[in-house]
């Protein structure tokens, strides 16, 4: 008798456990249906829906800096290199402590996809602050025409030599 009673109680417990699992599954299905109904409403934004339901699309931006000799179209100052040298001459402030400054300033920089100049570095200067002055001028330089590779705008490292050979007269 005891064995039969234990068997019946065990069966009832087992049936109840399976029944509660079915209830959880049905609750989850109802919740999913409610969420689906809310998502299908007109107020729901399609951009959010596509992000939630589909794989996330990652846009990989090309941040590589190309060498000037390895691209199809080289970057250029908007009105040509002669206009660039004129811009530099008109804006270059020579040091007061030296009346006669001779030499060159070698700089390199990155022409960005939007034509701005970044990562300006002086590799050689004529002392007396000529390198700092070259950086100052290039920072205020108008936008360039960017370089392209395979018909796409790319970042390009550009090398520029600025000649310094000017005699300054003292102003009274």
Please list the pLDDT of the chain residue by residue as tens digits (172 residues): 666 656 566 656 555 655 555 555 555 554 444 444 444 444 333 333 334 445 666 666 778 999 999 999 999 998 899 999 999 989 988 766 655 778 899 999 999 999 999 999 999 988 888 899 999 999 999 999 999 999 999 999 999 999 887 654 434 4
Cα–Cα nearest to 153, from 141, 144, 140, 162:
144
Which pTM does this prediction carry? Answer: 0.60
Q: Nearest-5° angle of CA 122, CA 126, CA 132? A: 45
DSSP string, 49-78: HHHHHSPPPPPPP--PEEEGGGSSB--EET
- State the CATH class of domain 65-167: alpha beta
């Amino acid at each position: 008798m005891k064995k039969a009673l234990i068997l019946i109680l065990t069966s009832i417990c087992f049936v109840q456990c399976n029944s509660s699992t079915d209830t959880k599954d049905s609750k989850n299905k109802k919740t999913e249906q409610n969420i689906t109904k809310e998502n299908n409403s007109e107020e729901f934004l399609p951009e959010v829906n596509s992000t939630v339901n589909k794989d996330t699309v990652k846009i990989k931006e090309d941040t590589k800096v190309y060498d000037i000799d390895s691209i199809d179209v080289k970057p250029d100052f908007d009105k040509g290199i002669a206009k660039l040298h004129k811009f530099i001459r008109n804006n270059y402030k020579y040091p007061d402590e030296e009346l006669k400054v001779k030499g060159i300033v070698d700089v390199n920089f990155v022409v960005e996809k939007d034509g701005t100049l970044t990562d300006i570095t002086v590799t050689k200067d004529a002392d007396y602050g000529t390198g700092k002055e070259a950086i100052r001028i290039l920072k205020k330089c108008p936008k360039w025409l960017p370089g392209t590779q395979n018909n796409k705008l790319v970042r390009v490292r550009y090398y520029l030599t600025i000649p310094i050979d000017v005699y300054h007269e003292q102003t009274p």
